[in-house]
Amino acid sequence: MGLPKDFPQPPIQPTPSEVSLESLNLDYKRLMKDHVSRTLAMRQAEKFLKLTGYIDRDRFEIHQKIRALAVALGISEDQTRVDLLLAMGNLSEFTLEGAPLIRLPLVAAEFYIDPKTQRVIIHRTGRPSQQNAYRVEDAPDFNVRFHRVKPITGAEEQWKDGDFSAIIYAEAKLYSPDHDFGSIQDSDSLRLAKTKAAALATDLRLDLYFAEDYSGFHRVGPTEIYGVIVPQMRIHETAIAIKHNKDRYHVDITDHLRGA
């Protein structure tokens, strides 16, 4: 006698190849984090030359393991370099201080920029209340309130393929102790950051990025971040352009966060 049709079926077990790929992916991501931690440790230990040599050897070995896993997973060397930059969360590898880098779409209902690590920190996962791309010609100086600007249709859907990132140029907070929302903080450094972001977007034919966490703000108030959207395979090219023309394109976001 057979089992009734509504009898609970056993879960479908993944094939050995699926288990293997999942395990390799987890190892790949874990080693990325290890590589970042060794890189940060090496920078901290630069004044202790003996320690630096040891950490650098350790980091090299981790990098070799990452490349071996990447080959097994079919990940190109270029993509591996991009993944390492995104794992670091900034452009410090190009000696560009204060240039946070995020993978799009941002999955953060609450977020802020940590001046110490120069990264966008996700305080609570979820969907930002607003996250959009804008053509630079629609916001030529970037110093506009974005509810007045029409975003690019379908941008966030395009980001789901995982091929886009954003270099973050500025953060603004809405301080409101009584939650009676007023104006976002403004300053000369904030305006300069937006102007340089717009210059980069104009010259390299990129789009502008904006996100806010009004739906789940914490501490003193909601956060807004402004940046430039960069296809992942153009991160290196873009970082080199910034490095070679810092006066026009680069801003250290930690200066702005300190109110400099």
- What residues does each domain of the chain span? 16-75, 101-257
Residue 8 has pLDDT above 50, yes or no: no
Model-level pTM?
0.80
Peptide bond preceding 231 in cis form (omega within 30 of 0): no
- Cα gap 109→222, rounded to integer Å: 10
221 torsion bin: left (phi>0), alpha (psi -120 to 50), beta (else): left
User: Over the stretch 127-164, which tens digit does the pLDDT of each residue have?
Assistant: 888 899 999 888 755 655 555 677 888 888 889 887 99
- Is residue 102 within 8 A of residue 178, CB to CB? The reply is no
Look up residue 226 and give its DSSP letter: E
- Is residue 38 within 8 A of residue 55, CB to CB? The reply is yes
User: Over the stretch 19-63, which tens digit does the pLDDT of each residue have?
Assistant: 588 888 899 999 999 888 888 877 776 656 555 555 677 878 888
Identify the weakest region by mean pLDDT among 13-17, 160-164, 239-243. Answer: 13-17
